[in-house]
Amino acid sequence: MSRVFHIGIPKSGTTSIQAILGEDERVELLRSTFYTTSRYWTAKDKEKVSDKIYIESNETLVTSGYNKVKLNEVFRRISQLHKDAKIIITIRRQEDAILSMFKYHIKQNFKGVKSLENWMYKTNLGMDYLSTCMYGNLAKLLLLYFKKDNIHFICFEDLKYQPELFYNQFYNVLNIPYKSETNSVVRNSVNLSDNQLYTLSRLNTLSFTSINSEQYNSFKYIRKIERKIKHKIVKAKSLKKPNSFFEINNVNGFQNLKEDYRRSNRMLIELGLIKESKLKEYNYYI
C-alpha cells in the first residue's frame, strides 16, 4: 500500500500510538529526519524491503520549532517521493493542547515558561505551537499536495476516552484490522503536580542551560543532569502556584486567538475532513 505519514500534532498521543504500532508485526515504524533536514538531498529515503506497512510517525514533521525546513517544503518533499501517501493527523482541543505543551516545556527545562503568556507569545516554540493548532489551515496546505481521500483527521480525545474507537479509525486508514489485544502502556516518567510545575518554572528562569535548536551531545547531557536535579528539588519542596498560573483565559489576546481557532475548525468541517458532531462532542471551538 501507499506510504503512511502520521504527523502529530505534538501532545496528541503520539508516544502511545507509536508504542502500539511498534508492537504490530505488520507495521514498519519509522522516525526519521529525512524530510526535515538536508538529508533529503544527501541521502536516500528508506526503501521498502518487506510487505510490512511503512509508517513514518513523527510529530516534528508538522512543527518548525526545531526544523530548518518550512512546513510547505516538508509536504512538497513527501508528495514528491510518495504522491499517493496517506496522511494521518491527530488533533486535540486547542486550549488543552496548549496547556499540555506548556507543561511539557516546563518539565524540559525551557527558560521561556516563566508564564503561560510569555511562553505563548515570546518564544519561538510557543508561537510555532499556536500556529500548528490552526487545523483548518493545516488541512488547506495538505490539500495542495495530497488527495482529499488520503487525508485523515482523528481526535486525540477518542484515544483518551474511547481508545478502541480511536485505533479502529487509525487502522482503517492502514486498511488492516486493529488487534484489540495489543495493549502497550506508556508510563509518564515525570509526573508533577501543578504546584511542582510552578516551582520548576521558577527554577528554570535561573537555568544554566535551555532548549535550543542546535545542541551538542555534551550540552544535552548537562541539561539532562540539571533537569533531574531540579525535579528532585521540586518533589522535596514546592511553592503554592498562583490561581491564575495555568488559566489560559486570562492570557492577553486569548479571546482573539480563540476566534481564529474557531474559524480554522469551521474550515476543517467545511472541507469535509471531520464531522461537526465530533468536534462538538469534545467542546472544540466551532
Task: Show the domain range for 116.
Answer: 4-188+244-281
- Per-residue model confidence (pLDDT) at position 166: 98
Where b means 16+ CB within 10 Å and e means fewer, 42-61 reads eeebeeeeeeebbbbbbbbb
| Total count of domains within the chain | 1
Write out pLDDT tens, residues 151-193. 999 999 999 999 999 999 999 999 999 988 666 656 556 789 9
Output the nine-digit C-alpha cell for 12.
Answer: 496528541
Identify the helix (H) or strand (E) that includes residue 49: none
Write out pLDDT tens, residues 26-41. 999 999 889 998 999 9
> Are 66 and 132 within 8 A, CB to CB?
no
- Per-residue model confidence (pLDDT) at position 222: 82
DSSP letter, residue 53 = E
DSSP letter, residue 31 = -
| For residues 222-232, average pLDDT | 88
- Per-residue model confidence (pLDDT) at position 209: 62
Q: Is the pLDDT of residue 17 over 50?
A: yes
pTM for the full model? Answer: 0.92
Q: What distance in Å separates the CA atoms of residue 21 and residue 26, rounded to the nearest whole number?
A: 9
Does residue 15 lie within any of the structural domains? yes
Write out pLDDT tens, residues 52-104. 999 999 988 998 655 678 899 999 999 999 999 999 999 999 999 999 999 99
pLDDT class for 213, splitting at 50, 70, 90?
very low
Give the CATH number of the domain where residue 78 resides.
3.40.50.300
Q: Is 79 exposed, middle or buried (0-12, 13-18, 19+ CB in 10 A)?
A: middle
Output the nine-digit C-alpha cell for 216.
Answer: 551538542
Instruction: Round the average pLDDT of the chain to a whole number and report it.
Output: 91
pLDDT greater at residue 278 or residue 211: 278
Q: What distance in Å separates the CA atoms of residue 164 and residue 184, rounded to the nearest whole number?
A: 13
Q: Is the pLDDT of residue 112 over 90?
A: no
